[in-house]
Amino acid sequence: MERIAVLTSGGDAPGMNAAVRAVVRAALNNKMDIYGIERGYAGLVKGEITRLSHRSVSGLIHKGGTFLRTARCPDFKDIEVQRQAVEALSAYDIEGLVVIGGDGTFRGAKDLSDNFGIKVMGIPGTIDNDMSYTDYTIGFDTAVNTVLWAINNLRDTMHSHDRVCLLEVMGRQCGDIALYAGVAGGVEYVLVPEIKYDLDQISANVKKSYLRGKTSNMIILAEGAGNRDEIAAYVQEKSGIPVKVINFGYIQRGGSPNMMDRVLAARFGYKAVELLKENSDSMAIGIRDNKLVTVPFAEIGQHTKKFDEELYNIAHVLSL
């Protein structure tokens, strides 16, 4: 394979730049021509394709976001729109594609591969860590550490005012960001979509601990687990203690990627180019028990994302 391209798609995630850098440098190391596609599938359909060099990815490894930019392109579900994308690739004689994104991006990749025989390698890039076939996605660890920074700051002020706070974090229908940040931050209550919770019990515990002198508690809410304002109002009314609500939002999507995400990005990017060089069938690249894995896109749906209930129980026991 002589010419390949790379794109970032869906929600951006810290480490996407490091992954693009790894793909570009590995491709050049294999004497391949490498192109960058702007704004994900939306840019591909429009032919926003640029030749990349070694210098194009200099000074990027520590930067959050994606210099190729990204976009959501709902029309890409349409095979005629996909055909335009394939025409754009063949206009540059591009034979292989590396896509960096989440579940949706991988569905688009599967279609390009199944419908048009394009060789596509998928690199999991999303802060949500909601991809069932891999233990970690690029961006998750950095996002959790960003939430941890917020938890530390919130503890200071909430403790000073004897207040309870509810911090909402992202994750779509996956509770991993809330869970890992909850354990690392010693948060008292972790509310996730995967586990039922009892607000009466939580309110009673908040009140009891207050009367015992623990006048500040923290609740971390994964966005898919309920409405932050309704939950806060309920706990405040039942416990009689003021509950401050913080929606952490897009802050957790940015920031300089940390070691874990940069190393994942390097390993995934390098592997993607290796697979294209070997003319492998289209694959999703991931990591399980610290070993790289490759999974055909068609098999991804067969894996169920296992929620770490043991860690969830540890979070609650250790924060009592």
Q: Does 124 bind ligand ADP (CB under 6 A)?
A: no
Cα 219-221-224 angle, rounded to 5 deg: 165
48-56, 159-167, 169-177, 238-246 -> range binding ligand F6P (CB under 6 A): 169-177
Site string for ligand F6P, 106-145 (x = CB under 6 A): --------------------xxx-----------------
Query: What are 86's two structure tokens?
Result: 């394939």
How far apart are CB 118 and ligand ADP at their closest, in Å?
Answer: 13
Q: Is 141 a catalytic residue?
A: no
User: Would you list the DSSP string of the chain?
Assistant: --EEEEEE-SS--TTHHHHHHHHHHHHHHTT-EEEEETTHHHHHHTT-EEEE-TGGGTT-TT--S-TT-----GGGGSHHHHHHHHHHHHHTT--EEEEEE-HHHHHHHHHHHHHH--EEEEEEB-TT---TT-S--BTHHHHHHHHHHHHHHHHHHHHHTT-EEEEEE--TT--HHHHHHHHHHT-SEEE-TTS---HHHHHHHHHHHHHTT----EEEEEGGG--HHHHHHHHHHHH-S-EEEEE-GGGGG-S---HHHHHHHHHHHHHHHHHHHTTPPPEEEEEETTEEEEE-HHHHTTS-----HHHHHHHHHHH-
Q: Which entry of ligand F6P, ligand ADP, none binds 127, CB below 5 to 8 A by partner kind?
A: ligand F6P
Q: Does 96 bind ligand ADP (CB under 6 A)?
A: no
Q: Does 253 bind ligand F6P (CB under 6 A)?
A: yes
Q: Given the complex with ligand F6P, which of 231 and 276 has the nearer CB atom?
A: 231
Q: Which entry of ligand ADP, ligand F6P, none binds 101, CB below 5 to 8 A by partner kind?
A: ligand ADP
Query: Of residues 12, 103, 111, 128, which has the active-site annotation?
Result: 128
How far apart are CB 12 and ligand ADP at their closest, in Å?
Answer: 9
From the list 154, 170, 219, 231, which residue makes contact with ligand F6P (rule: CB under 6 A)? 170
From the list 14, 171, 269, 286, which residue makes contact with ligand F6P (rule: CB under 6 A)? 171
How far apart are CB 35 and ligand F6P at their closest, in Å?
Answer: 25
Q: Which entry of ligand F6P, ligand ADP, none binds 171, CB below 5 to 8 A by partner kind?
A: ligand F6P
* Site residues, ligand ADP (CB under 6 A): 9-11, 41, 72-74, 76-77, 101-105, 107-108, 111, 126
Residues contributing to the site for ligand F6P (CB under 6 A): 11, 102, 126-128, 170-172, 223, 253
Catalytic machinery residues: 128
